[in-house]
Amino acid sequence: MTIEDLDQGARDILAANDRGGYTVPNGRVYPFQWNWDSAFVALGFDTFDRPRAWAEVETLFKAQWDDGFVPHIVFWQEDEGYFPGPQVWDTRRTPVSSGITQPPVAASMVAILWENAKAAGEADTYRPRVELLFDQLLAWHRWFRDHRDPEGRGVVVAMHPWETGRDNSPEWDAPGEPIDISNVGEYVRRDTGHLDAKMRPTKLEYDRYLALVQYGRAQNWDHAKISQGNPFKVADVGMSMMLLRANRDLLTMALDLGRTNEAAEIQHIIATAESGIEWLWNSEKQAWCSRDLISGKSSGFITSASFLSFYAGLSDPVKDTAMLTHFARIGSKVEYMLPSLDPEDPGFQMIRYWRGPVWAVVNYMVGKGLAEAGYDAEAARIRKDTLALIEKNGFYEAFSPVDGTGSGGDDFSWTAAIWLALG
Protein backbone atom coordinates (compact mmCIF):
# COMPACT_ATOMS: atom_id res chain seq x y z
CA MET A 1 0.00 0.00 0.00
CA THR A 2 1.15 3.52 -0.72
CA ILE A 3 1.39 6.21 1.95
CA GLU A 4 -1.66 7.83 0.39
CA ASP A 5 -3.55 4.55 0.69
CA LEU A 6 -2.59 4.26 4.34
CA ASP A 7 -3.59 7.85 5.01
CA GLN A 8 -6.98 7.20 3.48
CA GLY A 9 -7.26 3.89 5.31
CA ALA A 10 -6.63 5.62 8.62
CA ARG A 11 -9.28 8.23 7.90
CA ASP A 12 -11.70 5.49 6.87
CA ILE A 13 -11.16 3.67 10.17
CA LEU A 14 -11.91 6.80 12.17
CA ALA A 15 -15.03 7.37 10.10
CA ALA A 16 -16.16 3.76 10.50
CA ASN A 17 -15.62 3.85 14.26
CA ASP A 18 -17.29 7.24 14.65
CA ARG A 19 -20.54 6.98 16.59
CA GLY A 20 -21.45 10.65 16.35
CA GLY A 21 -19.36 12.85 18.63
CA TYR A 22 -17.27 10.00 19.97
CA THR A 23 -15.24 7.18 18.48
CA VAL A 24 -15.11 3.56 19.62
CA PRO A 25 -11.65 1.97 19.69
CA ASN A 26 -12.86 -1.08 17.75
CA GLY A 27 -16.53 -1.81 17.16
CA ARG A 28 -16.37 -5.55 17.77
CA VAL A 29 -14.35 -5.61 20.98
CA TYR A 30 -14.71 -2.13 22.49
CA PRO A 31 -18.15 -0.68 21.59
CA PHE A 32 -18.09 2.41 23.84
CA GLN A 33 -16.09 5.58 24.39
CA TRP A 34 -12.78 5.08 26.18
CA ASN A 35 -11.11 8.02 27.91
CA TRP A 36 -7.51 8.08 26.75
CA ASP A 37 -8.39 6.49 23.41
CA SER A 38 -10.54 9.50 22.57
CA ALA A 39 -7.78 11.94 23.50
CA PHE A 40 -5.43 10.35 20.97
CA VAL A 41 -8.18 9.90 18.40
CA ALA A 42 -8.69 13.67 18.44
CA LEU A 43 -5.15 14.08 17.08
CA GLY A 44 -6.07 11.97 14.08
CA PHE A 45 -9.27 13.84 13.35
CA ASP A 46 -7.40 17.13 13.66
CA THR A 47 -5.40 16.31 10.53
CA PHE A 48 -8.52 16.43 8.35
CA ASP A 49 -11.57 17.54 10.38
CA ARG A 50 -10.77 20.06 13.13
CA PRO A 51 -14.34 20.52 14.45
CA ARG A 52 -14.72 16.76 14.80
CA ALA A 53 -11.44 16.56 16.72
CA TRP A 54 -12.66 19.02 19.33
CA ALA A 55 -16.04 17.29 19.55
CA GLU A 56 -14.29 14.03 20.48
CA VAL A 57 -12.84 15.51 23.66
CA GLU A 58 -15.89 17.62 24.43
CA THR A 59 -18.09 14.53 24.31
CA LEU A 60 -15.81 12.75 26.77
CA PHE A 61 -16.08 15.64 29.22
CA LYS A 62 -19.87 15.56 29.06
CA ALA A 63 -19.46 12.51 31.29
CA GLN A 64 -17.39 14.38 33.91
CA TRP A 65 -18.69 14.00 37.47
CA ASP A 66 -19.34 16.98 39.73
CA ASP A 67 -16.10 16.39 41.65
CA GLY A 68 -13.98 16.55 38.47
CA PHE A 69 -13.64 12.81 37.93
CA VAL A 70 -13.64 11.63 34.30
CA PRO A 71 -14.49 7.92 33.82
CA HIS A 72 -12.52 5.47 31.74
CA ILE A 73 -15.61 4.24 29.84
CA VAL A 74 -18.77 6.12 28.87
CA PHE A 75 -21.64 3.82 27.92
CA TRP A 76 -23.41 6.11 25.47
CA GLN A 77 -25.31 3.22 23.88
CA GLU A 78 -26.41 -0.18 25.11
CA ASP A 79 -24.49 -3.28 24.07
CA GLU A 80 -25.69 -6.32 25.97
CA GLY A 81 -22.77 -8.47 24.85
CA TYR A 82 -20.14 -6.36 26.58
CA PHE A 83 -18.73 -7.37 29.96
CA PRO A 84 -18.40 -5.73 32.41
CA GLY A 85 -21.22 -3.48 31.30
CA PRO A 86 -23.06 -0.66 33.07
CA GLN A 87 -25.02 -2.98 35.35
CA VAL A 88 -21.79 -4.40 36.73
CA TRP A 89 -20.35 -0.96 37.42
CA ASP A 90 -23.62 0.42 38.79
CA THR A 91 -22.31 3.98 39.17
CA ARG A 92 -25.85 5.41 38.95
CA ARG A 93 -24.68 8.33 36.84
CA THR A 94 -26.01 10.01 33.73
CA PRO A 95 -24.50 9.47 31.26
CA VAL A 96 -23.81 5.92 32.35
CA SER A 97 -20.13 5.33 33.00
CA SER A 98 -17.56 3.22 34.78
CA GLY A 99 -16.29 4.20 38.23
CA ILE A 100 -12.55 4.38 37.56
CA THR A 101 -10.51 6.75 35.43
CA GLN A 102 -7.69 6.39 32.87
CA PRO A 103 -4.34 8.05 32.02
CA PRO A 104 -4.73 11.85 32.01
CA VAL A 105 -3.46 12.61 28.52
CA ALA A 106 -6.40 14.79 27.46
CA ALA A 107 -4.82 18.11 28.48
CA SER A 108 -1.74 17.37 26.39
CA MET A 109 -3.85 16.51 23.36
CA VAL A 110 -6.07 19.57 23.78
CA ALA A 111 -2.93 21.70 23.98
CA ILE A 112 -1.93 20.36 20.56
CA LEU A 113 -5.40 20.98 19.15
CA TRP A 114 -5.28 24.55 20.46
CA GLU A 115 -1.82 25.24 19.00
CA ASN A 116 -2.93 23.83 15.64
CA ALA A 117 -6.07 25.97 15.67
CA LYS A 118 -4.03 29.09 16.40
CA ALA A 119 -1.53 28.21 13.67
CA ALA A 120 -4.43 27.91 11.23
CA GLY A 121 -5.68 31.37 12.17
CA GLU A 122 -8.73 29.98 13.97
CA ALA A 123 -7.97 31.12 17.52
CA ASP A 124 -11.12 33.23 17.77
CA THR A 125 -13.28 30.31 16.68
CA TYR A 126 -11.83 27.84 19.18
CA ARG A 127 -11.03 30.08 22.13
CA PRO A 128 -14.48 29.65 23.79
CA ARG A 129 -14.12 25.90 23.41
CA VAL A 130 -10.62 25.76 24.87
CA GLU A 131 -11.72 28.03 27.75
CA LEU A 132 -14.41 25.53 28.74
CA LEU A 133 -12.16 22.52 28.28
CA PHE A 134 -9.44 24.20 30.35
CA ASP A 135 -11.79 24.44 33.33
CA GLN A 136 -12.87 20.82 32.91
CA LEU A 137 -9.30 19.59 32.57
CA LEU A 138 -8.15 21.51 35.64
CA ALA A 139 -11.03 20.03 37.63
CA TRP A 140 -9.92 16.55 36.58
CA HIS A 141 -6.29 17.24 37.50
CA ARG A 142 -7.43 18.49 40.90
CA TRP A 143 -9.35 15.24 41.31
CA PHE A 144 -6.12 13.30 40.73
CA ARG A 145 -4.41 15.43 43.36
CA ASP A 146 -7.22 14.88 45.87
CA HIS A 147 -8.07 11.21 45.24
CA ARG A 148 -5.11 9.48 43.61
CA ASP A 149 -2.16 10.85 45.58
CA PRO A 150 -2.86 9.99 49.23
CA GLU A 151 0.69 10.74 50.41
CA GLY A 152 0.99 14.02 48.54
CA ARG A 153 4.03 12.99 46.51
CA GLY A 154 2.76 14.34 43.21
CA VAL A 155 2.41 10.84 41.74
CA VAL A 156 -0.69 8.97 40.56
CA VAL A 157 -1.75 6.00 42.65
CA ALA A 158 -3.90 3.65 40.59
CA MET A 159 -6.76 1.91 42.36
CA HIS A 160 -7.32 -0.53 39.51
CA PRO A 161 -4.98 -1.90 36.81
CA TRP A 162 -7.45 -0.65 34.20
CA GLU A 163 -6.86 2.91 35.40
CA THR A 164 -3.28 2.71 34.18
CA GLY A 165 -4.35 1.86 30.62
CA ARG A 166 -1.72 -0.91 30.77
CA ASP A 167 -4.16 -3.47 32.10
CA ASN A 168 -2.07 -6.61 32.62
CA SER A 169 1.43 -5.22 33.01
CA PRO A 170 3.49 -7.51 35.28
CA GLU A 171 3.87 -4.49 37.57
CA TRP A 172 0.43 -5.32 38.96
CA ASP A 173 1.06 -9.02 39.66
CA ALA A 174 2.53 -8.82 43.16
CA PRO A 175 0.26 -5.97 44.33
CA GLY A 176 -2.71 -7.96 43.01
CA GLU A 177 -1.97 -11.18 44.91
CA PRO A 178 -3.77 -10.16 48.16
CA ILE A 179 -7.00 -9.26 46.31
CA ASP A 180 -9.83 -11.55 47.44
CA ILE A 181 -11.42 -13.09 44.34
CA SER A 182 -13.64 -15.60 46.14
CA ASN A 183 -16.88 -13.72 45.39
CA VAL A 184 -16.27 -12.85 41.76
CA GLY A 185 -18.59 -15.57 40.46
CA GLU A 186 -19.09 -16.73 36.89
CA TYR A 187 -18.91 -14.38 33.91
CA VAL A 188 -18.36 -14.39 30.15
CA ARG A 189 -15.72 -12.08 28.70
CA ARG A 190 -16.21 -10.34 25.38
CA ASP A 191 -12.52 -9.93 24.53
CA THR A 192 -11.66 -13.63 24.39
CA GLY A 193 -14.76 -14.24 22.29
CA HIS A 194 -13.33 -12.06 19.53
CA LEU A 195 -9.58 -12.33 20.05
CA ASP A 196 -7.06 -15.10 20.65
CA ALA A 197 -6.89 -15.71 24.41
CA LYS A 198 -3.09 -15.88 24.29
CA MET A 199 -3.10 -12.16 23.46
CA ARG A 200 -5.29 -11.22 26.41
CA PRO A 201 -5.10 -11.03 30.23
CA THR A 202 -5.50 -14.37 32.01
CA LYS A 203 -8.58 -15.43 33.98
CA LEU A 204 -6.76 -14.83 37.27
CA GLU A 205 -5.95 -11.29 36.22
CA TYR A 206 -9.53 -10.71 35.13
CA ASP A 207 -10.88 -12.11 38.40
CA ARG A 208 -8.79 -9.52 40.23
CA TYR A 209 -10.07 -6.76 37.97
CA LEU A 210 -13.67 -7.70 38.74
CA ALA A 211 -13.05 -8.01 42.48
CA LEU A 212 -11.80 -4.42 42.47
CA VAL A 213 -14.90 -3.31 40.56
CA GLN A 214 -17.01 -5.02 43.22
CA TYR A 215 -15.08 -3.21 45.94
CA GLY A 216 -15.61 0.19 44.31
CA ARG A 217 -19.30 -0.53 43.84
CA ALA A 218 -19.61 -1.49 47.51
CA GLN A 219 -18.25 1.98 48.37
CA ASN A 220 -20.88 3.55 46.08
CA TRP A 221 -17.95 4.83 44.02
CA ASP A 222 -16.99 7.26 46.77
CA HIS A 223 -13.42 7.90 45.66
CA ALA A 224 -12.33 9.23 49.04
CA LYS A 225 -13.35 5.92 50.64
CA ILE A 226 -11.79 3.91 47.80
CA SER A 227 -8.46 5.70 48.12
CA GLN A 228 -8.37 4.85 51.83
CA GLY A 229 -9.35 1.19 51.87
CA ASN A 230 -8.77 -0.18 48.37
CA PRO A 231 -6.80 -3.47 48.37
CA PHE A 232 -4.82 -2.34 45.30
CA LYS A 233 -2.80 0.88 45.46
CA VAL A 234 0.09 1.25 43.03
CA ALA A 235 1.91 4.44 42.12
CA ASP A 236 1.98 3.99 38.36
CA VAL A 237 5.06 5.37 36.66
CA GLY A 238 3.12 5.80 33.40
CA MET A 239 0.20 7.81 34.78
CA SER A 240 2.53 9.84 36.99
CA MET A 241 4.68 10.88 34.03
CA MET A 242 1.64 11.57 31.84
CA LEU A 243 0.01 13.74 34.49
CA LEU A 244 3.19 15.74 35.03
CA ARG A 245 3.37 16.38 31.28
CA ALA A 246 -0.35 17.17 31.17
CA ASN A 247 0.04 19.72 33.94
CA ARG A 248 2.90 21.37 32.08
CA ASP A 249 0.68 21.60 29.00
CA LEU A 250 -2.23 22.86 31.09
CA LEU A 251 0.06 25.55 32.52
CA THR A 252 0.96 26.70 29.01
CA MET A 253 -2.74 26.97 28.21
CA ALA A 254 -3.42 28.86 31.45
CA LEU A 255 -0.78 31.45 30.63
CA ASP A 256 -2.00 31.73 27.05
CA LEU A 257 -5.56 32.27 28.25
CA GLY A 258 -4.57 34.78 30.90
CA ARG A 259 -5.66 32.54 33.78
CA THR A 260 -3.02 33.74 36.24
CA ASN A 261 -4.56 32.36 39.43
CA GLU A 262 -4.97 28.92 37.90
CA ALA A 263 -1.45 29.11 36.49
CA ALA A 264 -0.04 29.65 39.99
CA GLU A 265 -2.01 26.65 41.25
CA ILE A 266 -0.77 24.44 38.43
CA GLN A 267 2.82 25.57 39.00
CA HIS A 268 2.51 24.38 42.60
CA ILE A 269 1.16 21.00 41.44
CA ILE A 270 4.08 20.67 39.02
CA ALA A 271 6.63 21.56 41.69
CA THR A 272 5.19 18.92 44.01
CA ALA A 273 5.50 16.28 41.30
CA GLU A 274 9.02 17.29 40.32
CA SER A 275 10.04 16.85 43.94
CA GLY A 276 8.09 13.69 44.76
CA ILE A 277 8.39 11.63 41.60
CA GLU A 278 11.94 10.69 42.60
CA TRP A 279 10.23 8.05 44.75
CA LEU A 280 9.64 6.04 41.58
CA TRP A 281 13.32 5.79 40.65
CA ASN A 282 14.69 2.29 41.27
CA SER A 283 18.39 2.71 41.97
CA GLU A 284 19.08 -1.02 41.70
CA LYS A 285 17.50 -1.30 38.26
CA GLN A 286 18.62 2.21 37.33
CA ALA A 287 15.18 2.84 35.88
CA TRP A 288 11.84 4.50 36.53
CA CYS A 289 9.47 1.87 37.93
CA SER A 290 6.01 1.70 39.48
CA ARG A 291 5.79 1.25 43.26
CA ASP A 292 3.26 -0.56 45.45
CA LEU A 293 1.93 1.91 48.01
CA ILE A 294 0.82 -0.86 50.38
CA SER A 295 4.09 -2.80 50.54
CA GLY A 296 6.31 0.14 49.65
CA LYS A 297 8.18 -2.04 47.16
CA SER A 298 9.27 -0.96 43.72
CA SER A 299 8.06 -3.24 40.94
CA GLY A 300 11.54 -3.47 39.43
CA PHE A 301 10.03 -3.87 35.97
CA ILE A 302 11.37 -1.83 33.07
CA THR A 303 8.44 -1.15 30.76
CA SER A 304 7.72 1.22 27.91
CA ALA A 305 6.16 3.54 30.51
CA SER A 306 9.57 3.85 32.19
CA PHE A 307 10.72 5.91 29.20
CA LEU A 308 7.96 8.48 29.65
CA SER A 309 10.31 10.44 31.93
CA PHE A 310 11.47 12.35 28.85
CA TYR A 311 7.86 13.12 27.91
CA ALA A 312 7.26 14.35 31.46
CA GLY A 313 10.03 16.91 31.02
CA LEU A 314 12.27 15.45 33.70
CA SER A 315 15.94 16.12 33.13
CA ASP A 316 18.70 14.47 35.14
CA PRO A 317 21.99 13.60 33.40
CA VAL A 318 22.59 10.45 35.44
CA LYS A 319 19.05 9.10 35.15
CA ASP A 320 18.74 10.08 31.49
CA THR A 321 21.98 8.28 30.67
CA ALA A 322 20.76 5.18 32.49
CA MET A 323 17.46 5.21 30.60
CA LEU A 324 19.22 5.74 27.26
CA THR A 325 21.47 2.78 28.07
CA HIS A 326 18.36 0.66 28.63
CA PHE A 327 16.94 2.02 25.38
CA ALA A 328 20.02 0.93 23.42
CA ARG A 329 20.06 -2.50 25.08
CA ILE A 330 16.38 -3.13 24.42
CA GLY A 331 16.71 -1.79 20.88
CA SER A 332 19.40 -4.38 20.15
CA LYS A 333 17.11 -7.21 21.26
CA VAL A 334 14.00 -6.46 19.19
CA GLU A 335 13.20 -5.59 15.61
CA TYR A 336 10.68 -2.90 16.55
CA MET A 337 10.69 -0.43 19.42
CA LEU A 338 9.32 0.08 22.04
CA PRO A 339 8.21 -3.20 23.65
CA SER A 340 5.88 -2.80 26.61
CA LEU A 341 8.15 -5.03 28.72
CA ASP A 342 11.92 -5.44 28.72
CA PRO A 343 12.56 -8.35 26.32
CA GLU A 344 15.19 -9.70 28.71
CA ASP A 345 12.58 -10.09 31.43
CA PRO A 346 11.63 -13.78 31.89
CA GLY A 347 7.95 -12.80 31.69
CA PHE A 348 8.25 -11.17 28.28
CA GLN A 349 5.57 -12.35 25.83
CA MET A 350 5.66 -10.74 22.43
CA ILE A 351 1.90 -10.71 21.76
CA ARG A 352 0.24 -10.83 25.21
CA TYR A 353 -1.25 -7.38 25.70
CA TRP A 354 1.02 -5.26 27.97
CA ARG A 355 3.63 -7.97 28.54
CA GLY A 356 5.57 -7.37 25.35
CA PRO A 357 3.71 -5.76 22.42
CA VAL A 358 4.46 -2.32 21.00
CA TRP A 359 1.72 0.31 21.34
CA ALA A 360 1.66 3.22 18.90
CA VAL A 361 0.28 5.66 21.48
CA VAL A 362 3.09 4.99 23.96
CA ASN A 363 5.61 5.26 21.13
CA TYR A 364 4.09 8.62 20.22
CA MET A 365 4.61 10.00 23.72
CA VAL A 366 8.06 8.49 24.26
CA GLY A 367 9.23 9.63 20.83
CA LYS A 368 7.93 13.13 21.43
CA GLY A 369 9.70 13.30 24.77
CA LEU A 370 12.99 12.05 23.36
CA ALA A 371 12.84 14.58 20.52
CA GLU A 372 12.11 17.45 22.91
CA ALA A 373 15.04 16.40 25.09
CA GLY A 374 17.35 16.45 22.08
CA TYR A 375 17.83 12.71 21.72
CA ASP A 376 17.24 12.76 18.00
CA ALA A 377 18.58 9.30 17.10
CA GLU A 378 16.39 7.56 19.66
CA ALA A 379 13.35 9.62 18.67
CA ALA A 380 13.98 8.75 15.01
CA ARG A 381 14.14 5.03 15.85
CA ILE A 382 10.77 5.22 17.62
CA ARG A 383 9.16 7.08 14.73
CA LYS A 384 10.61 4.80 12.06
CA ASP A 385 9.57 1.62 13.84
CA THR A 386 6.06 2.88 14.60
CA LEU A 387 5.40 3.80 10.98
CA ALA A 388 6.99 0.58 9.72
CA LEU A 389 4.79 -1.58 11.95
CA ILE A 390 1.64 0.05 10.63
CA GLU A 391 2.81 0.16 7.02
CA LYS A 392 3.69 -3.54 7.01
CA ASN A 393 0.90 -4.95 9.17
CA GLY A 394 -2.05 -2.58 9.29
CA PHE A 395 -3.80 -0.64 12.03
CA TYR A 396 -3.75 -3.17 14.86
CA GLU A 397 -4.23 -2.42 18.53
CA ALA A 398 -0.63 -3.42 19.22
CA PHE A 399 2.26 -5.24 17.54
CA SER A 400 4.90 -7.83 18.29
CA PRO A 401 8.27 -6.14 18.77
CA VAL A 402 9.93 -9.30 17.46
CA ASP A 403 8.28 -9.83 14.07
CA GLY A 404 5.67 -7.07 13.81
CA THR A 405 2.66 -9.39 14.03
CA GLY A 406 -0.55 -7.52 14.82
CA SER A 407 -1.95 -8.12 18.31
CA GLY A 408 -5.41 -7.35 19.68
CA GLY A 409 -8.12 -5.69 17.62
CA ASP A 410 -7.68 -4.62 14.01
CA ASP A 411 -8.88 -1.36 12.40
CA PHE A 412 -8.02 0.31 15.70
CA SER A 413 -8.88 3.97 16.10
CA TRP A 414 -5.92 5.23 18.08
CA THR A 415 -3.41 3.45 15.88
CA ALA A 416 -5.00 5.09 12.84
CA ALA A 417 -4.89 8.43 14.65
CA ILE A 418 -1.20 8.11 15.50
CA TRP A 419 -0.40 7.24 11.88
CA LEU A 420 -2.07 10.48 10.80
CA ALA A 421 -0.51 12.53 13.60
CA LEU A 422 2.98 11.33 12.69
CA GLY A 423 2.42 11.89 8.97
Active site residues: 167, 397
Give the C-alpha separation, 111 to 117, whole Å.
10
Element (H, E) at 407: strand 406-407
Residue 400 vs residues 116, 263, 358: alpha-carbon distances, Å: 33, 42, 6
E strands present in 60-127:
73-74
Give the C-alpha separation, 260 to 54, whole Å.
24
- Residue 351 burial class via C-beta count within 10 angstroms: exposed 0-12, middle 13-18, buried 19 and up: buried
E strands present in 249-401:
281-282, 287-288, 291-292, 398-399
β-pair partners for 158: 234
Alpha helices (H) in 148-236, listed in sequence order: 173-176, 191-194, 203-218, 223-229
β-pair partners for 344: none
The sign one gets for the Cα dihedral 369, 247, 65, 225 is positive
| φ/ψ bin of 83: left (φ > 0), alpha (ψ from -120 to 50), beta (otherwise) | beta
Pairing of strands 234-235, 33-34: unpaired
Maximum Cα–Cα distance across the chain: 59
| Torsion of the alpha carbons at 228, 233, 236 and 241, rounded to the nearest 10 | 10
Identify the three-state secondary structure at position 349. coil
